[in-house]
Structure formats: structure tokens, C-alpha cells
Amino acid sequence: MGAQGKTEPASGKNHTTVERKSERELVVTRTFNGPVRIVFEAWTKPELLKQWWAPKSFGVSFISCEADVRTGDTYRFVFGHPAAEQPMAFFGRYIDVVPHARIVWTNDEDGEGGAVTTVTFEERGGETLVVMHDLYPSKEALDAAIASGSTSGFCETFEQLDELLAT
């Protein structure tokens, strides 16, 4: 408990912090240099989401990005990698959306062990504080995610594939 990620070295970028808040919860925080209406727009328009959700360092690219960011509607992100035969899909349902304030969604690709993610947006003097909160169904589910070494599903899989192909 209480394990916390190191702070980033000074790079002009705002710090991203991660903390395991409890047996079932992970919390990520970050401040963005823009008003909440713009930050919220970037989280809710598929054509904008596509530009940042899978940065180059992830080694994957979007095949499709569907997201109807409204309470009760769904999302489906499909990623591909040059070395992978099968694309990987991440999907779930938005269970609560309050414009410029909050988005809550489920992560259903792993069945019942998936977390519920709550992102809150709070404007402070032209900047926006984003707090992302992952609540796992149980301590075991979060421990299992940690034990599997997977931090975002596809990254490790594809990195392993890259390593295999390199040898």
C-alpha cells in the first residue's frame, strides 16, 4: 500500500503521478495547461482521442476509435501492430458523463476483473487538474493486474513480439 511512482525529472512538462490509494484503487493525476472545455473536448471527441491515446512510444496504432461519450453509450478502441496477426480491442460502457466535470467508464475486455475508471476535470486559473481513478472489483483483481506485469494490455505483448522477431 502507498507505493508511489517517482516524480519526473524537470522537463518543462507537467508531472504525472500514480498512487495505489488502497487495495483496490489506483489514482493518476496530471495538470494540463488549458481550460477545462478544451481538455474535456480532447477526451471526448474520437478524432482527438486518436491523436494522443496511443502515442508513438506505445508501438501500436489505431485501427478504429469509436466513442459516444454520453451516459449509457459505449466505446471501442481497436489497435494494430505490424507484427501482430490479430488486432486488439478495448471496450466498455460510459456509466456517467457530466460535461466538463466527469467521465466514468467500464473496462470490459478482461471480463469481470476489469476496473471502473472515473476521470474528473477541475479548472484552476486556466489550468485543468485531471484525476483518473481506477477502481478494481477486488484486491485480487488489482494484484493480478500487477502480477501479470501488464500496465496497459497490449504494450508488453507487442514488445515481447518485437523482441521475438529481433532474435
Partner 1 sequence: MVQYQTVHLDASFAALSDATRRGVLDELGRADASITELAGKFHMTLTGMKKHVGVLEQAGLVATAKIGRVRTCTLGPRRLAEEVAWIEDYRQRWASRFDALDRVIEELKQKEKVYGRARKD
Question: Which residues of the chain form contacts with partner 1 (CB under 8 A)?
Answer: 3-6, 8, 13-14, 16-20, 26, 28, 30, 32-34, 38-39, 41-42, 48, 51-55, 57-58, 132, 139-140, 143, 146-147, 149, 151-152, 155
Nearest-approach distance from CB 65 to partner 1, in angstroms? 13
Contact 99, 38 (CB under 8 A): no
3 state SS of 101: coil
Q: Residue 157 Cβ, how far from partner 1 at the closest point, in Å?
A: 14
Identity of the residue, 58 or 91, whose beta carbon is nearer to partner 1 in the bound complex:
58
Q: Which of 100, 99, 98 is nearest to 35 (CA)?
A: 100
Distance separating alpha carbons of residues 51 and 70, to the nearest angstrom: 20
CB of 91 to partner 1, least distance (A): 18
Between the two ends of the chain, the Cα-to-Cα distance in Å is 38
